[in-house]
Amino acid sequence: MEKYTKIAVVVVLCVLAASAGFLVSTLPYLAGPTDHSQRNRYPTEEEDRFALPPEPPMSMPMPTPVPRAAPESLMSKYAEKTMSVGTPEPQYADTDTERKIIQRASLRIEVKDFQSSSDAVIDIVERSNGFISDSHSYVTDTGRKRGSTTIRIPADRFIAVINEIECVGDVKSKDTSGEDVTEEYIDLTARLNNSERQEQRLLEILDMANNTKEVLEVEREIWRVRTEIERLTGRIKYLENRVELATISVSLYEPEPITHSWGIRDAIRSAFECFVSVIRGLIILVGYALPILILVGLGWLVKTKLMPRLRRKRDGK
């Protein structure tokens, strides 16, 4: 009995000890929830208004890097400069600009003596400070001479030279024309001036280049502008040459003899041509038929010569 009493006491003590530990562990919860608003709390608007600024940290702050602008391309500077300056419009202010007229003429003249008339035309050209740019002549089947000459003379002597050339023979046809190229000439001159100014600006930009890429880029643009300058210069020089020197084409010819013919010569010529054509046809026919004739001849020899011999030899045996 005493033994069971001790066991019961031990059990009761263990239960009391466990209950006491449980009560101790639950005391904070019994006191209510912890107020964290006083420990980690953001200041209100009223408090923030009168709050002192926070003290700076003891360590030196790192300097904020200033962002660098991206390098600007030299060609973009050139384009911006070109747009700011603007492309000058063609200058038409000079209303007294001399008109540019390209003068041409064509004469067809019948002469009695071709050589003397041709010499007279050459003499006129030399006295007018001109030159002959093209000339050719030939003799017809009837022994008559013909030829044409292209001459270039100063524009101010254009009408005078035509009048002198008309006196060398009987003029059968005459054609004169003038092409006004004043507007084209002024436009080309203005474009040439603009291109030359662009080239000058590009050369200035080339001196500012700092690396190979920029140099190549500017040189490529300079080459393009230089090509345009050369093209415009060539066209301007061509127009100036055509305006300063007029062009006259002179055709001289001796008249054909007037004769009456019965047509016998033409008939003989036609008969001979037909004879030659027939001979040519026969030669071509023989060329086509010759291989066939050779094959037929070989077959005839085999049939008439070789086959009878073979037949006799076979019968003799």
In a domain, 177, yes or no: yes
On whether residue 211 sits in a domain, the answer given is yes
| Domain presence at residue 161 | yes
Residue 166 DSSP label: G
Going across the sheet that includes 245-253, the strands are 131-139, 145-154, 245-253, 101-110, 170-180
Stated as kind and residue range, the H or E segment containing 103 is: strand 101-110
Quote the tokens at residue 98: 């001399």
Question: Which residues have C-beta within 8 Å of that of residue 165, sequence separation ≥ 6?
Answer: 107, 109, 121, 124, 248, 250
CB atoms within 10 A of CB 95: 5
User: Tens-digit pLDDT profile for the chain (317 aa)?
Assistant: 555 565 655 555 555 555 555 554 554 444 444 444 444 444 444 444 444 444 444 444 444 444 443 345 555 655 555 544 444 444 444 545 688 999 999 999 999 999 999 999 999 999 999 999 999 999 988 888 999 999 999 999 999 999 999 999 999 999 999 999 999 999 999 999 999 999 999 998 888 878 888 889 888 999 999 999 999 999 999 999 999 999 999 999 999 877 655 677 778 888 889 999 999 988 998 888 888 888 888 888 877 877 787 777 777 65
Closest Cα partner for 204 from 74, 53, 32, 63? Answer: 74
- Total structural domains in the chain? 1
Q: Is residue 168 part of a domain?
A: yes
Instruction: List the beta bridge partners of residue 250.
Output: 107, 149
Q: Is residue 219 part of a domain?
A: yes
Nearest to 131 by CA among 240, 251, 244, 239: 244
Tokens describing residue 15? 């239960």
Q: Provide the 8-state DSSP code for 156.
A: G
Are 157 and 130 a contacting pair, CB within 8 Å? yes
Residue range of the domain that includes 232: 112-253
Distance CA 75, CA 186 (A): 30
Could you tell me if residue 315 is inside a domain? no
Residue 173 within any structural domain of the chain: yes
Is 292 within the bounds of a domain? no
Half-sphere exposure of residue 255, counting CA atoms within 13 Å on the CB side?
10
